[in-house]
Structure 1
Amino acid sequence: MKRMYTAEVTATGGRSGQIKSSDGILDMPVRLPEGLGGKGGATNPEQLFAAGYAACFQSALMLVAGKQKIRLDENSTVTAQVGLDQFEDGRFGLAVQLDVKVDGVDKAKAEELVAQAHEVCPYSVGTRGNIDVKLNVLD
């Protein structure tokens, strides 16, 4: 295996603190969302994970489509919903739903491309067997 890139972000203060990347591009507060009893008004770990997963999955989708000489319509989108769950024993976990809109191909082809993207997307590979990921191909 060859490492191609390493992102480095430091967090202080947990869910009510600050995150900063080593290159300074990310430098922002994080807050507990209102839905969890916090004040909101800033991003949170679930939003950041959702953003990364959506962008990464969209790139994987473009990659698998391109290998088949299919150019995805510019209106194609990936929306990631990341849920924070608490189990009966008190542990916490994540659940993901990816809503994928693939314009320019029929539904069967869209489902095939999404399944292939799920096999190569680094987020999908990294979460496989650890996080419930539901793929939802939109019409």
Structure 2
Amino acid sequence: MSVSPVYTASATATGGRDGKASIHDSDLSFDLDPPKEMGGGGNGSNPEQLFAAGYAACYIGAMKFATTQDDSLAKVPNDVSVHAEVGIGPRDEGGFGLTVALKVALPGLSPEEAKAVTEAGHKICPYSNAVRGNVTVTTELV
């Protein structure tokens, strides 16, 4: 597989899950803290939250792009939303793994239209492509 990046994001983390992170070329800097369920204080952001936000936003973009490539797809409404839940836990094989649940709202689209748009989005979305075969991703229309 070959990828020719047109943009590269860059961030730096220090201290691990209980440290700090900053996004380069941005004023965004924040404290990291594991969630209480993982023994942390839950007072900062964590990598799973950041992954969920990125996946949700990118997936909306992918669905919108898909409709520009295929005239048979219904247009994505302006009030589209994706609620992403990213779970982390131990794997049977050792180490840790992720799960992703995407709850997609496409107001005004029929269930058939919405299903076609969500499926097309998964074919385009770089997050979906990156995790395919490694992470269980479920998509629910809400």
Taking structure 1 as the reference length, the TM-score comes to: 0.92
| Residues paired across the two proteins, number | 138
CA RMSD of aligned residues (A): 1.5
In the alignment, which residue of structure 2 is the partner of 1:132? 136
Matched, 1:79 2:73: no
SS of corresponding position for 1:72: coil
How far apart in 1 are the matches of 2:94 and 2:122? 30
Query: Is contact 1:82–1:97 with CA below 8 Å preserved after alignment?
Result: yes
Contact between 2:21 and 2:29, CA under 8 Å: does it hold in 1? Answer: yes
Query: Per-residue deviation at 1:136?
Result: 1.0
- Contact persistence 2:21–2:31 (CA under 8 A): yes
8 Å contact from structure 1 (residues 75, 103) kept in 2: yes
After superposition, what is the alpha-carbon deviation per residue over 1:61-115, rounded to whole angstroms, capped at 9, x for unaligned?
A: 1112344374322221111100002123541000101111111210011001000
- Contact 1:72 / 1:104 at 8 angstroms: preserved in 2? no
Q: Secondary structure at 2:123's aligned position in 1?
A: helix
> Could you report, residue by residue, the CA deviation over 1:16-49 in whole angstroms, capped at 9, with x for unpaired residues?
0000122143211110111212111111000000
Residue type of the partner of 1:95? T
Structure 1 residues 122, 89: CA separation in 2 closer, same or farther (over 3 Å shift)?
closer
Equivalent residues in 2 for 1:58-137 (5 A)? Answer: 58-67=60-69, 68=71, 70-137=74-141
Match status 1:49 vs 2:63:
no
CA distance in 2, matches of 1:20, 1:6: 15
Which of 9, 18, 29 matches 1:27? 29
TM-score by length of 2: 0.90
User: What is the DSSP-based 3-state SS (H/G/I as helix, E as strand, rest coil) of the residue aligned with 2:104?
Assistant: strand
Unaligned regions of 5+ residues in structure 1, if any?
Answer: none
Q: Could you list the structure 1 runs, at least 4 aligned residues long, displaced by more than 3 angstroms after superposition.
A: none
CA distance in structure 2 between the partners assigned to 1:2 and 1:13 by the alignment: 31
Q: Partners of 1:103 and 1:60 in 2: how far apart?
A: 17
